């Protein structure tokens, strides 16, 4: 069994590496690795049913992802996001710290709803980046701030895909994560913003406003706020009157909030085009989740998943505590969301066994993973950041290096949460 599972792991690693060498995308390399592993396991046959079945593993998550991003894109297209950024700048241009504070809150919203850091970069990242650069913050610092805040927004509740995927894999309710995730992601985002952005000047209001896109004249707080209110109402209604409301589900809640955004938009939105573009822009992310499901199924089939789990759970705790801050981001850079079921699930098992608070521990891990989205080979959010901000510096020497201190800070705080999970169990809730 050890040999067989080890062999499968080797086949996966080699196929993935060779495919990457031939310039295949991460998704296709992973798919090829899964197919190769499946064939070796089945002794030459293709386990078709398992490949197809695996693609369903994260279907629900994909739908949340698609509909939430559609909602955010509508707000962007209707001018709602530009409106909010301008209002923050106009109101607080004299008090720098408050200005930074509200910009951070704004940055946290899209990722919190969609679970994706890329969504933050694409919807509000550029606009906030423009404002920051008119506050005397250097280009590389702006890029680092946007990345860390985007990563923290992905970690922020209610939707944290890593925690959801790992919890689902260990039959653990995704309940009680709201507060620990909020505390961790807020600490990380505010630290990055104030550490990197503290020094500088007040906004050059005229210049900043000139560069920010002009929202439609009729845009106001009600038009921006009501769609969010609809969303929050639907979520709360399901919790407050669960037995007299129908089962709507998060994806449809986002669709309904989107409908309100469309109705309230001061300008006519090309809904079909936005919906098409949303899905199109999400294809890499949805694609990777589908492929990850296929890979996980083949690994479960062949015992490779068991071998990894066994390896993880038989490590002493102190080894985990002192290495997870490296292992989690690096594995995220390598495998994306696949890490949550692969490493997260056995770790939860171990933490439960050792009497730790699994919700706090998983929250801590679920904040460390997104930090890895700046690391190669995938670097999904890091690449999106430099592309959207039209960053001219060097990716590693300027961008990554500037982000290192806040990254280290987040990892340190999260590691402390891991170690002191029981002492922090009062945070569980929501």
Partner 1 sequence: MAILNSIISVCYYLISAFVVFVLAKSIIKTKNVQDAILYSVMLMPFILRILRIK
Partner 2 sequence: MTDRNLLIVKLVSLALVAVALVIAGIQFHDHRNYQEEVVKGPGVTQVKKLSDYFEPLKGSINDCNIYIIDSGVPGGTAFLIGSSHPEEPAGNLTAQLFVENAKLAKGRLIVAIRANQSASRVSRPGDAYPLYYTIETPWGEKKFRMGDRWSSPLDSWPDPEVYVNYPSGQLLAYMDVRNFNRTWPGRANGMITEQTNYAFMNVIKEEGVDIFIDLHEAELEYPVISTIVAHQKGADIAGMASMLLTSTEFRIGMEYSPKSLHGLSHREVGDHSDAVSILLEAPEPFLDRVRGITDEKLLLTGQDEFVVMAGKYGLLYEKIDEKGWPIDVRVGRHCSTVLMIFELWGDFNPGKEVVIQQVPRYDEVVQNGTGYYFRDPSKAKTEDIYYE
Residue 330, interface with partner 2 (CB under 8 A)? no
DSSP H helices in 204-270: 205-211, 221-240, 250-264
Smallest separation, CB 361 to partner 1 (Å): 31
263 CB burial (10 A radius; 0-12, 13-18, 19+):
exposed
Distant-in-sequence, close-in-space partners of 172: CB < 8 Å, separation ≥ 6: 348, 358, 362
Give the one entry of partner 2, partner 1, none that residue 232 binds, where binding means its C-beta sits below a cut-off of 5 to 8 angstroms depending on kind.
none
Would you tell me which residues interact with partner 1 (CB under 8 A)? 24-25, 27-28, 31, 52-53, 55-56, 59, 63, 66-67, 246-249, 251-252, 255, 275-276, 279-280, 283, 286-287, 290-291
Contact 158, 64 (CB under 8 A): no
- Please work out, in degrees rounded to the nearest 5, the angle formed at the alpha carbon of residue 61 by the alpha carbons of 60 and 63: 65
Residue 56, interface with partner 2 (CB under 8 A)? yes
Q: What is the C-alpha to C-alpha distance for residues 162 and 336, in angstroms, rounded to an integer? A: 10
Residue 363, interface with partner 2 (CB under 8 A)? no
Q: What is the C-alpha to C-alpha distance for residues 171 and 73, in angstroms, rounded to an integer? A: 33
Give the one entry of partner 2, partner 1, none that residue 171 binds, where binding means its C-beta sits below a cut-off of 5 to 8 angstroms depending on kind.
partner 2
Give 132 or 299: the residue with its C-beta nearer to partner 2: 299
* Total residue length of the chain: 430
> How many chain residues bind partner 2 (CB under 8 A)?
59
Q: Which of 23, 43, 44, 247 binds partner 2 (CB under 8 A)?
A: 247
Q: What is the C-alpha to C-alpha distance for residues 374 and 149, in angstroms, rounded to an integer? A: 12
Smallest separation, CB 271 to partner 2 (Å): 22
Give the one entry of partner 2, partner 1, none that residue 313 binds, where binding means its C-beta sits below a cut-off of 5 to 8 angstroms depending on kind.
partner 2
Which segment (70-78, 297-305, 355-363, 411-419) binds partner 2 by CB under 8 A? 297-305
Residue whose C-alpha is closest to residue 238's, from 228, 220, 252, 219: 252
Which segment (76-84, 214-222, 251-259, 320-328) binds partner 2 by CB under 8 A? 251-259
Interaction with partner 2 in 69-128: which residues (CB under 8 A)?
none
Q: What is the C-alpha to C-alpha distance for residues 61 and 407, in angstroms, rounded to an integer? A: 27
Give the one entry of partner 2, partner 1, none that residue 283 binds, where binding means its C-beta sits below a cut-off of 5 to 8 angstroms depending on kind.
partner 1
Beta strands in 272-418 (DSSP E): none
Give the one entry of partner 2, partner 1, none that residue 170 binds, where binding means its C-beta sits below a cut-off of 5 to 8 angstroms depending on kind.
partner 2
Q: What is the C-alpha to C-alpha distance for residues 13 and 199, in angstroms, rounded to an integer? A: 45
Q: Which of 11, 27, 33, 57 binds partner 2 (CB under 8 A)?
A: 57
Share in percent of the chain as helix, strand, coil (round to 5): 75, 0, 25
Give the interface with partner 2 as residue ranges (CB under 8 A).
Answer: 1-2, 4-5, 41, 48-57, 59-60, 167-175, 235, 238-239, 242-243, 247-253, 293, 296-298, 300-303, 305-307, 309-310, 313-314, 341, 345-346, 349-350, 353
């Amino acid at each position: 069994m050890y040999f067989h599972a080890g062999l499968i792991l080797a086949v996966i690693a080699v196929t993935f590496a060779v495919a990457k060498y031939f310039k295949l995308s991460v998704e296709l390399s992973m798919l090829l690795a899964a197919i190769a592993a499946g064939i070796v396991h089945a002794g030459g046959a293709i386990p078709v049913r398992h490949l197809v079945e695996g693609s369903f593993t994260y279907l629900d998550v994909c739908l949340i992802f698609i509909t939430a991003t559609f909602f955010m894109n509508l707000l962007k297209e209707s001018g709602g996001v530009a409106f909010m950024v301008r209002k923050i700048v106009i109101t607080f241009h004299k008090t720098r710290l408050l200005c930074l504070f509200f910009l951070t809150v704004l940055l946290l919203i899209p990722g919190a709803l969609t679970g994706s850091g890329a969504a933050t970069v694409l919807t509000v990242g550029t606009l906030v980046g423009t404002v920051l650069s008119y506050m005397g913050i250097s280009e590389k610092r702006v890029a680092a701030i946007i990345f860390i805040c985007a990563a923290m927004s992905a970690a922020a509740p209610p939707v944290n895909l890593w925690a959801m995927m790992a919890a689902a894999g260990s039959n653990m309710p995704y309940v009680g994560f709201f507060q620990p995730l909020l505390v961790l992601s807020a600490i990380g985002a505010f630290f990055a913003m104030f550490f990197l952005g503290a020094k500088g000047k007040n906004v050059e209001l005229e210049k900043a406003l000139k560069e920010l896109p002009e929202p439609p004249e009729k845009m106001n707080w009600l038009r921006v706020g009501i769609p969010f209110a609809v969303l929050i109402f639907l979520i709360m209604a399901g919790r407050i009157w669960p037995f007299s409301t129908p089962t709507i589900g998060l994806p449809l809640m986002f669709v309904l909030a989107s409908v309100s955004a469309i109705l309230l938009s001061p300008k006519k939105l090309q809904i079909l085009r936005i919906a098409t573009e949303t899905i199109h822009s999400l294809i890499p992310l949805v694609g990777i989740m589908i492929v990850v499901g296929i890979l996980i199924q083949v690994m479960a089939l062949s015992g490779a998943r068991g071998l990894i789990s066994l390896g993880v759970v038989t490590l002493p705790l102190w080894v985990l505590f002192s290495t997870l801050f490296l292992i989690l981001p690096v594995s995220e850079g390598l495998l994306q969301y696949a890490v949550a079921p692969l490493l997260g699930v056995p770790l939860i098992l171990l933490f439960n066994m050792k009497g730790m608070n699994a919700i706090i521990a998983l929250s801590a891990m679920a904040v460390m993973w997104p930090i890895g989205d700046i690391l190669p080979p995938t670097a999904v959010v890091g690449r999106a950041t430099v592309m959207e901000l039209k960053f001219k510096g060097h990716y590693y020497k300027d961008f990554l290096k500037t982000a290192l201190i806040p990254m280290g800070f987040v990892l340190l705080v999260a590691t402390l949460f891991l170690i002191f999970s029981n002492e922090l169990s009062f945070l569980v809730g929501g």
